[in-house]
Structure formats: C-alpha cells, structure tokens
Amino acid sequence: MRGFSKLLSSLLATSGPGRVILEIDLDRGVLRAAPENPLEALRAINAPTITGLTQALREAATDQRVAGLVVHVGTCPLSAALVDEVGAAIRAFGIHKPTVAYAESFGELTSGMFAYRLATSASTIWLQPSGSVVLGGVHVDMLLLRGGMEKLGLDPEFSQRKEFKTAAETYSASTISDANREMSGRLAASLLEETVALVSERRGLTADAVREVVDRGPVPAEDARALGLVDHLGYRDDVYADVRGTWGKDGTLQYASRYISSLTARAVSRLAVKPTVAVVSVRGGIVSGRPVRSPLGGPQAGSEVVQEHLRHARMDDNVKAVILAVDSPGGSYIASDTIRAGVLELKKAGKPVVATMGDLAASGGYFVAMGATEIIANPSTLTGSIGVFAGKVVNQGLYDKLGLVREDVQSGRLADMFAGNRGFTEEQWRILDAWLDQVYEDFTTKAAADRGMTVGELEPLARGRVWTGADAKERRLVDHLGGREVAVERACALAGLDRDKVAIRPVPLLGLLERLQPAQSSERPGGLDGLSYSADPFRLLSTLATGLGLAPDGVLSMPYRLRIG
C-alpha cells in the first residue's frame, strides 16, 4: 500500500498541471478560528484560517510543482499577533522556496509598522513607486470613563488587585495612574523593540538605522530602496511579470489556502488511523456554563463546553496530545478555574497539553493556560494580567435625571449588595475586598505552582500587569515564542510523536449532518451543543438563529462597525 501510494503521488507530481505560484492576499484577512456557522462562512469565504494557511504552506514547501509564494500585504488588517503567525509561516516556507512580498504602501502618513514587519518575512520586498514606508512606532491610547459617566448620573464603584489591573481604573479613576502609564509604556516599547530587532536582522540593517526610519516619518519609495528597506519598485503587474520571468512563464496562480498537495496522499491519509493531536479552543470571553451570544457581544467560551471538549480528548485513546488554543481577554474566575481543572486532568491521564496564545490570553485567558505542560505565545500576544477586579455602577443618578421613579424591596441583609440604585455600604466593601483578596491569592498561588515558581517569584510579575509575549517569556510566564505550528511541534515532541505522521484535528470534529444532531453525552458533543437554551421563546429563537448564523450579526445587523483606536 505504501509503495502504491508513493508511486501514484510521484505520477501526480509529474503529470499534473504546470508550475504553481502560490498567493496570499492579506487584504482579504486571515481568521484566527473557523467560522461558527454557515452565514459567517459565506462572509469569510475568501479569508483563510491561520491553521489552514500554515498547514498549506507547510505541505507546499516540499512540493516540486510549487515555484514560490507571492504575498500581497496591502492594508494588512491583521492583529499584531496574527502578523507574527503569518510571518512565521512565510519564513518557514521560504527556507525551501522563494518568497516575495509587495504593497502599494506601508502606511500613508499613518503607521504601517506591522504591515512592514510582516513583509520582512519574505526574501524580497516590492513597493509601489508612489508608496512609502512609514514605521511610525506604537501608540497606546488610555481612556478613563468616570468623568463622562458622572455627567450621565452614573457612579462607578470598583476595587482591584492590584495596581496594574487597570480595567477597574478605566471606570473608577479620574486620572491615569503611574502604574497604568508604566505598563502601557512598556507594552508599546516591547512591540517597537521586537520590530526593530526583526527588521534589522532580516534586512541587514543596524538597529540605529531602523530607529531613524521609525522617527523619520514617511520614507518615499526611492529613498526606501536606497536605504535597503525594499528591493524593487513597481506595480502589481510588474511583480507578477518578474516572478513569472524568474520562476517560469507557465506558472499558474493559486491562493495558498486552496492548495492541495496530492489527492492520493490525502486519500491515504484519511484511510490510515494516525495518532492525533487534538485542538481545543478557548475563544472569547470566558463564562460559566453554556454561552448565549448577545447582539452586542462577540464569541464566548463556556466552561461547560470547553470541559466537555477536554474530556472528549481525554477519553479518546487515539488522542495523544492536546493543543489548547486560547484567544481570550478573560472573564469569570469560577469558569476559568473549571477549565484549568480539565487541563490538569488531561495531564494526569498522561496526555501533554500545549497552550498556544493568540492575540489575547490575559487574566482568565492566562488562568486557563497556565496549567498546561508548556505555553506558546507570539511575541506580540498580550498576556499575563494576573489579577482581579469587581464592583458595580450606581445608576440612580441617571434615573433621577430622567425623572424616573424607582423603588425596591428586599429580604436578606445583603440582598441589595449589587443593586444599581445605591452604593456599597462599609460592610459590603469589606466583603468585596475580602473576596478580591481570596481570588488574587488563589490565582497567584496556582500560577506559581503551574509555572514552577515560588509565590514570592511570581507575585511581582502578577499584580494585574499585562505583558507582551516577548516580555512574558523573559519572565518565565510562557515557555516558547511562536504560533500554532510551534505548538504542534512541541505537542508532538512531548508525546513522542513524529510530526509528519500525526493528524491535527479540532474537538469536536463535526460534519454538516453531525451539526444537526443532538449530543450523545457530555463526552460526545453535538452540533449546537455549545449554545445555551431556554424556555423563553425570544431567547430560544435567538439561540437557534445564532447556530444558523442569522444572529447577532446576520441579515439585520448594521452594515458597518464602530472602531475606537
């Protein structure tokens, strides 16, 4: 069977169509995760997932039919962490094949720093003659809402653990604290330092020369070429004419995400039973139970759902290791602890767990990852934030401004503790502060144990402070820098598996028909089992519509998004 497969693969490679030139068009975007429903899939039909794109480039790198890769950077609407992951995939491909990146401009007065950082992952860079290189630097905007809330008659009452947990400060403070200013300044500096180091290494420039470009403003195309920032000037047609002249005039363009290396190899792969590295996602705000998406909210990670997926992976004998893909700003303390417990159970069962962090894995997002065997983060990932805050917004002043009459009754001394029509009493503040102390102690104690530190070593790194992935690695909060592919390699190494002989699959792996079937048990999830149901007819309709992609971002959604930044 093995010899037959090898023979057919060889025949396909030599008798198939001519040379293939792979393309990536970043103007179309790259998805962190696969669409959750059919309508989302239609909207994102031309946007590859980072996992699919990385795997395609990995397979194509050793395919004789593939001549090289052309990357249209364009406006590069990717987060900094996705820039890191896409760039890593391009560089890995570039070890075997030529790579070209081009852009109309790297910024237009505004900074194009991350777009250019990604372009340096290619061996050759083209720039439109009218374009420029604007590295610009990193700008962090700190916003306090208290003054505006007070004008509306809203009085925020929050407490935090500790000084760097500035999410509470956003609502309750009237001035920017020194801790907030220090943390934000370090985040900006870390991102810029990493960019300067990468650009200088990849373009053969000194760090001082790159810093001069950062502070210079727009660098016209001719100057950019003279400085060694780009290699060639030209328009899109010039780029393709050049690569075809170099790589072969018969080269056929194909998006990398649509690449298929060998039909025979894929068929044999499906027939063979391979050891599996399962991928369990923790995406969005972390909540207890099962999430119900609201019209104003994004994706949520329900603790019950993630736990089921972890149990499913633990009970599957073919699953030898698990990747925990975390892209979350945090959320519920209880829910985060529930998910962490599931991670620890997997490790007890002898299955290594590698956490890989996306754009965000902070606070509760760090909590669920810290118990993993190893943690992988991109240099630009925002992580840490080991801390806690809680409180409420007293809204009685708004009711008074609107002339609304409000009255309440209660049974139980503390029944009104989180009521919006009155502030905390001294006793309630004591209760809230005691709970915050308890949670902070539990968080730091478990983080120290998970990371092999003493509490004395861990606690100064906590205090609610957010770190970039690069800084977090230096402080032992993460183990390796990289993206999904690094996580796969580490999972295979920890489980003693051959990377080229394993299957990588999400949990649960459901086809179209399976998505319409009910769950069999808590270890065998069904199609819409990640959603919560209710006897409330409006909530039930909303939940069902969400599963079909009709809500909250469906046919009645706004035709635009508001973005602050």
Establish if 404 belongs to a structural domain. Answer: no
Given 209, 237, 265, the domain boundary residue is: 265
> How far apart, in Å, are the Cα atoms of 153 and each of 148, 174, 398?
9, 15, 4
Establish if 223 belongs to a structural domain. Answer: yes
Same structural domain, 223 and 357: no
Establish if 163 belongs to a structural domain. Answer: no
Same structural domain, 310 and 442: yes
Given 265, 293, 322, the domain boundary residue is: 265
Establish if 553 belongs to a structural domain. Answer: no
Establish if 361 belongs to a structural domain. Answer: yes
* Residue 256: strand, helix, or coil: helix
- Which ranges of 232-332 would DSSP assign to H, the alpha helix? 236-247, 263-271, 303-315
CATH of the domain at 70: 3.90.226.10
Same structural domain, 380 and 247: no
CA angle 103, 108, 110 (to 5 degrees): 120
Same structural domain, 305 and 241: no
pLDDT at 310: 95
Contact predicate 229/115, CB 8 Å: no
Q: Cβ atoms within 10 A of the Cβ of 413, count?
A: 10
Same structural domain, 226 and 95: yes
- Which ranges of 95-177 would DSSP assign to H, the alpha helix? 113-119, 146-151, 166-172
pLDDT at 524: 56
Contact predicate 394/420, CB 8 Å: yes
pLDDT at 561: 31
Q: Which domain holds residue 112?
A: 2-136+217-265
Q: Cβ atoms within 10 A of the Cβ of 149, count?
A: 19
Same structural domain, 279 and 253: no
Same structural domain, 366 and 431: yes
Residues of the chain with pLDDT under 70: 1-18, 34-46, 260-273, 292-297, 509-565
Same structural domain, 35 and 81: yes
| Alpha carbons within 13 A on the beta-carbon side of 382 | 19
The strand pairing partners of 21, in sequence order, are 68, 253
Same structural domain, 9 and 115: yes
The number of distinct structural domains making up the chain is: 2
Same structural domain, 36 and 99: yes
pLDDT at 37: 53
Given 265, 299, 330, the domain boundary residue is: 265
pLDDT at 556: 25
Same structural domain, 20 and 119: yes
Contact predicate 82/115, CB 8 Å: no
Establish if 147 belongs to a structural domain. Answer: no
SS3 letters across 429-496: HHHHHHHHHHHHHHHHHHHHHHCCCCHHHHHHHCCCCEEEHHHHHHCCCCCEECCHHHHHHHHHHHHC
Same structural domain, 313 and 221: no
